[in-house]
Amino acid sequence: MGVRVIEVRERVMARNDELAAGVRARLDAAGVVALNLVSSPGSGKTLLLERTLEALGDELSIAVVTGDIQTQNDADRLARHTDRLVQAVVTGGACHLDASQIANALDAIDLERTRLLFIENVGNLVCPASWDLGEAAKVTVFSVTEGEDKPLKYPKTFRVSSQVVINKIDLLPHVDFDLELAKANAASINPALRFFTTSARTGEGLEGWLDFLRELVAASEVAA
Amino acid sequence: MHEMSLAHEVCRIAEAHLPPGPTRVLSLGVEVGDDVGIEVANFRFCLEALLSEPPFTGAALDLTIQPGTDLRLVYVEVDDGRPSH
pLDDT at A114: 95
Look at residue A166 in the predicted model and tell me its pLDDT.
98
Q: Does B42 touch chain A (CB under 8 A)?
A: no
CB pairs under 8 A between A and B: 78
Give the pLDDT of residue B77: 97
pLDDT value, residue A90? 66
A3 and B26: CB-CB below 8 Å? yes
Contacts of residue B60, Cβ cutoff 8 Å, sequence gap at least 6: B26, B27, B28, B51
Identify the weakest region by mean pLDDT among A92-96, A160-164, B28-32.
Answer: A92-96
Spatial contact of A103 and A16, defined as CB atoms under 8 Å apart: no
Interior/surface letters B40-79, b for 16+ CB within 10 angstroms, e for the rest: eeebbebbeebbeeeebeebebebeeeeeebbbbbbbbbe
CA B43 to chain centre: 11
SS3 A66: strand
d(CA A116, CA A3): 54
User: Under 8 Å CB-to-CB from A70, ≥6 apart: which residues?
Assistant: A92
Q: Which of A7, A8, A124, A131 best tests the B interface by mutation, with the highest count of B CBs <10 A?
A: A8
Query: For position B22, what pLDDT does the model report?
Result: 87
The whole-angstrom distance between B11's CA and the closest CA on chain A is 10
Q: What is the pLDDT of residues A161-215, one digit of tens each?
A: 999 999 999 999 999 999 999 999 999 999 999 999 999 999 999 999 999 999 9
End-to-end CA distance of chain B: 43
SS3 state at B25: strand
Residue A124 pLDDT exceeds 80? yes
Kindly tell me the number of DSSP H helices and DSSP E strands found in chain A: 8, 8
Taking the CA of residue B4 and the nearest CA in chain A, the distance in Å comes to 11
Residues of B in contact with A96 (CB under 8 A): 1-2
**Interatomic CA distance for residues A164 and A193, integer angstroms:** 7
- As to burial, measured by CB atoms within 10 angstroms (0-12 exposed, 13-18 middle, 19+ buried), residue B21 is exposed
- Of all residues in chain A, the percent with pLDDT exceeding 70 is 96
For an interface test with B, which of A4, A91, A158 has the most B Cβ atoms less than 10 Å from its Cβ? A4
User: Residue A68 CB: number of other CB atoms within 10 A?
Assistant: 19
Question: pLDDT per residue over A94-117, tens digit each?
Answer: 788 899 999 999 999 999 999 999
Please give, rounded to a whole number of angstroms, the shortest distance from the CA of A108 to a CA of chain B.
Answer: 26
Looking at every residue in chain A, the average pLDDT score rounds to 92
- Residue B1's pLDDT is what? 63
| Rg of the Cα atoms in chain B | 13
Which of B73, B77, B82 has the most A C-beta neighbours within 10 Å, making it the best mutation to test the interface with A? B73
Q: For chain B, give the mean pLDDT.
A: 92
What does pTM read for this prediction?
Answer: 0.88
Look at residues A50, A58, A108 and name the one whose alpha carbon lies nearest to residue A81: A50
Q: Inspect the interface and report whether the beta carbons of A126 and B1 lie closer than 8 Å.
A: yes
Continuous segment of H or E residues that includes residue A14: helix A14-30
**A166 neighbors A146 (Cβ within 8 angstroms):** no
Question: With an 8 Å Cβ cutoff, is B82 touching chain A?
Answer: yes
Question: Which residues 35-74 of chain A have a CB within 8 Å of chain B?
Answer: none
* Residue-wise pLDDT tens digits, A40-58: 999 999 999 999 999 999 9
Q: What is the least distance, in Å, from the CA of A127 to any CA of chain B?
A: 7
pLDDT at A25: 97
Categorize the per-residue pLDDT at A93 as very low, low, confident or very high, splitting at 50, 70 and 90.
Answer: low
Q: What is the pLDDT of residue B81?
A: 82
Whether B85 has a pLDDT exceeding 60, the answer reads: no
